[in-house]
Amino acid sequence: MNNEDLHKWVCHRADMLFVCLKVLGLLTIGVTVAVALDGLSDDAALALSIAIGAFGVLLWFCAFGAVLDISAMRKDMSSDLKTSAFGSQFSKAPFPVYILLTTIVMLGVPVMLIIALNS
């Protein structure tokens, strides 16, 4: 894979991560407003909790896949790119830590939102 194609794919997957974070932020704002207005019945809170749980898992799958794809793209770097400053830092990036953080954020926030809705 040439460097331009690699750059396009990494940018695409990074954009997907950014979209997941924006959606998670909007979801948090929406639930915060709903809880602050205190206008949800018990049935509505239950339905919203189920939707948040399902949506949180979907966001985690998207973000987790994006991080795994970016991690796998390290193997596709050309020899020129690997020897550059960017390539050497990209090769040493701690992707297992990124995967752990992605899991904590993308699954932890929906859990906290569900707890906030049902408290």
- Residues 118 and 45: beta-carbon distance below 8 Å: yes
d(CA 105, CA 103) in angstroms, rounded, equals 6
Q: Tell me what the mean pLDDT of segment 60-72 comes to.
A: 91
Per-residue pLDDT at 85: 87
Per-residue pLDDT at 109: 93
How far does the chain reach from its first CA to its final CA, in angstroms? Answer: 51
> With 80 as the cut, is the pLDDT of residue 1 above it?
no
**Residue carrying structure tokens 């207005």:** 37
> With 90 as the cut, is the pLDDT of residue 111 above it?
yes
> With 90 as the cut, is the pLDDT of residue 78 above it?
no
Question: Total structural domains in the chain?
Answer: 1
Position 5 confidence tier, pLDDT thresholds 50, 70, 90: confident
Quote the domain boundaries for residue 9: 3-117
Mean pLDDT of all residues belonging to the chain? 88
